[in-house]
């Protein structure tokens, strides 16, 4: 649930709220312009000559103000955003290429604090899709307010296996459902971003042939603020092999302020044909009983 909250902040807030705020600003400006025009119309003299002169003067001033307002808006927009288009293109291409890589071996580390609640995740996950089926192996540690537990997730041959604190269980599932249920990488899904999604973005070539993309974002509305930094390391083949997000956010719900800070890093250890997966002996995982099986047993 926590990772989904962060995903919503990063996608909806950045991709939607920025556009929404811009739309509200445009609506306000239009309303003010109509009010000014209405007031001006009431003060125009009744004579035809005066009306013509006033109209000509108003048209001239309107054109001048329009040019001035446009220039001011362009200047403000340029000052607020300094996104390098080449860096943005590299970012978009790397995200798309990595998402289509197929098999993936990743490590996710996350530290999340919301008011007085803290959650941390340290998880390695290997996914090997194969048509409608596939294999999955994930292993790591989850901690909440200092209390940690070791967890394992596996998927193969139509069953999803879970092991939390030594409690082993399996249930019928699809590969897609198993990946969606256990995939910590969902927190890094920034969706389709544009230059409006960030305040700034730059790309810097590294000595080892990789490229480091650094982006800064912020948003604010009546009930929510968020700011942070995104770093993406792209290898020489165009894959995003490391994604890091640092986030500070504040929102108000039911008159209660909720402050969230997050530090997350997703590292791609291997992708494509370089990914190897090994599943342990899963014979001692007990199948979860269904409602029908429980009712049958009770009746007997």
- Dump pLDDT digits (tens) for 31-62: 333 332 333 333 333 444 444 554 555 555 55
What H or E segment, with its residue span, contains residue 107?
Answer: strand 104-114
Instruction: Indicate if the pLDDT at residue 277 is higher than 60.
Output: yes
Confidence (pLDDT) at 13:
32
Task: Decide the pairing of beta strands 133-144 and 147-156.
Answer: antiparallel
| Coil, strand or helix at 130 | strand
Q: Do 121 and 139 touch, CB atoms closer than 8 A? A: no
Q: Which of 244, 273, 237, 271 is nearest to 126 (CA)?
A: 271
Task: Decide the pairing of beta strands 200-205 and 117-130.
Answer: unpaired
Neighbours of 50 (CB within 10 A): 11
Q: Do 57 and 176 touch, CB atoms closer than 8 A? A: no
Q: Which of 281, 270, 42, 297 is nearest to 168 (CA)?
A: 281
Instruction: Indicate if the pLDDT at residue 276 is higher than 90.
Output: yes
* Among 6-20, 78-92, 131-145, 244-258, the least confident range: 6-20
Instruction: Indicate if the pLDDT at residue 251 is higher than 60.
Output: yes
166, two tokens: 């030594």
Rg over CA atoms, the chain? 27
What's the CA angle centered on 32, arms 37 and 197, to 5 degrees?
Answer: 140
Predicted TM-score (pTM) of this structure: 0.68
């Amino acid at each position: 649930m926590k990772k989904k909250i962060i995903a919503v902040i990063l996608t909806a807030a950045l991709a939607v709220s920025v556009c929404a705020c811009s739309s509200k600003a445009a609506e306000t400006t239009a309303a003010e312009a109509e009010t000014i025009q209405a007031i001006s119309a009431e003060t125009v003299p009744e004579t035809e000559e005066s009306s013509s002169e006033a109209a000509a003067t108003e048209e001239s001033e309107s054109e001048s103000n329009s040019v001035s307002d446009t220039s001011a808006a362009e200047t403000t927009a340029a000052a607020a955003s300094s996104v390098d288009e080449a860096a943005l293109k590299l970012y978009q291409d790397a995200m798309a290429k990595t998402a289509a890589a197929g098999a993936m071996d990743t490590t996710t580390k996350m530290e999340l604090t919301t008011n007085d609640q803290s959650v941390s995740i340290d998880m390695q996950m290997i996914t090997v899709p194969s048509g409608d089926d596939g294999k999955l192996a994930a292993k790591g540690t989850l901690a909440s307010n200092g209390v940690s537990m070791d967890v394992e997730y596996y998927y193969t041959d139509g069953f999803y296996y879970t092991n939390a604190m030594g409690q082993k269980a399996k249930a019928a599932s699809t590969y897609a459902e198993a990946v969606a249920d256990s995939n910590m990488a969902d927190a890094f899904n920034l969706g389709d971003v544009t230059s409006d999604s960030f305040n700034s973005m730059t790309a810097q070539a590294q000595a080892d042939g990789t490229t480091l993309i650094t982006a800064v974002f912020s948003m604010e509305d009546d009930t929510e603020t968020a700011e942070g930094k995104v770093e993406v390391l792209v290898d020489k083949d165009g894959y995003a092999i490391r994604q890091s997000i640092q986030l500070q956010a504040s929102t108000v719900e039911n008159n209660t302020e909720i402050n969230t800070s997050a530090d997350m890093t997703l590292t791609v250890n291997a992708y494509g044909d370089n990914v190897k997966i090994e599943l342990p002996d899963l014979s001692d995982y007990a199948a979860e009983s269904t409602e029908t099986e429980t009712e049958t047993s009770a009746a007997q």
